[in-house]
Amino acid sequence: MTTTTERPARRGFTLRDALREFLRHPSPWMIGTVVIGALTARVLVGDWQPTDALVPLIMLAVFPFFEWVVHVFILHWRPKKIGNLTIDPLLARDHRRHHVDPREVPLIFIPWRALIWVIAVAVAVALVAFPRLGMGLTFLTLIGVFGLGYEWCHYLIHSDYKPKTRLYRAIWRNHRQHHFKNEHYWFTVTSSGTADCVLGTYPDPASVQTSPTAKNLHAIEV
């Protein structure tokens, strides 16, 4: 297993410092471009109807479960061999590296090569899966906003910024338990005690043993 030297936390690290670092990476700009483009198109298309209000309500309810499913089945994907072919997607490979060194900043963000495909799929869903173009563009705008929120929250948790509010402290603790206590629990990132509670992965931390593979997923060398 690859080992890393734990770097000391920077003292006095502020939200402004965090934002400067956040904006040095490609995924916030890529997702932000989607948000601006989708919002502009949404305004130009018009056709506002009461059913548009259903989109954010449903997305708010579903997003924690979406995070959970992606984290469990894509990011924690165990490489599989079919004959001479090894199926090991980039997102899973980088996520294993992220567990090895949770403070390696570039590994905190969605890899830009994978994000291109994610954005393409989101655009396709917006264009073909909704009964009205306006509703699809509402979805695309919001999925971009949620994506930016995910990237910011995930980065902030792994940065040297210390929790100052009760809500953020709960989210911060939830994700750090996943990394430093046991990788088989606490899969949500932008919320705490939501999908994990429903799906049985939100135990009392005192009842969970510290996993020897929390920093080496599936005991695979990276």
DSSP 54-119: HHHHHHHHHHHHHHHHHIIIIITPPPEEETTEEE--HHHHHHHHHHH-TT-GGGGSPPHHHHHHHH
* pLDDT of 56 higher than 50: yes
Q: Where are the domains of the chain?
A: 30-167
Q: What is the mean pLDDT of the chain?
A: 92
Which of left, alpha, beta for 94 (phi over 0: left; psi -120 to 50: alpha)? alpha
**pLDDT more than 70, % of the chain:** 95
Are 189 and 150 in contact by the 8 Å Cβ rule? The answer is: yes
pLDDT of residue 213: 95
**Alpha helix stretches (DSSP H) within the chain:** 15-22, 26-45, 54-70, 90-100, 112-128, 133-158, 166-180, 195-199
Reported as a single tens digit per residue, the pLDDT across 57-110 is 999 999 999 999 999 999 999 999 888 899 999 999 999 999 999 999 999 999
Give 54's contacts (C-beta < 8 A, 6+ positions apart).
Answer: none
Task: Dig out the tokens for 18 from the structure.
Answer: 């965090």
Does the pTM exceed 0.95? no
**pLDDT more than 90, % of the chain:** 85
pLDDT of residue 18: 94
Cα(170)–Cα(141) distance, integer angstroms? 27
pLDDT of residue 203: 95
Task: Dig out the tokens for 219 from the structure.
Answer: 């005991």
Greater model confidence, 24 or 7:
24
Reported as a single tens digit per residue, the pLDDT across 133-142 is 999 999 999 9
Are 147 and 31 in contact by the 8 Å Cβ rule? The answer is: yes
Task: Dig out the tokens for 212 from the structure.
Answer: 């020897």
* pLDDT of 2 higher than 60: no
Greater model confidence, 2 or 155:
155
pLDDT of residue 1: 42
pLDDT of residue 8: 61
Greater model confidence, 139 or 220:
139
Are 161 and 18 in contact by the 8 Å Cβ rule? The answer is: yes
Compute and round to an integer the Cα radius of gyration of the chain: 19
* pLDDT of 49 higher than 50: yes
* pLDDT of 164 higher than 80: yes
Task: Dig out the tokens for 162 from the structure.
Answer: 């210390």
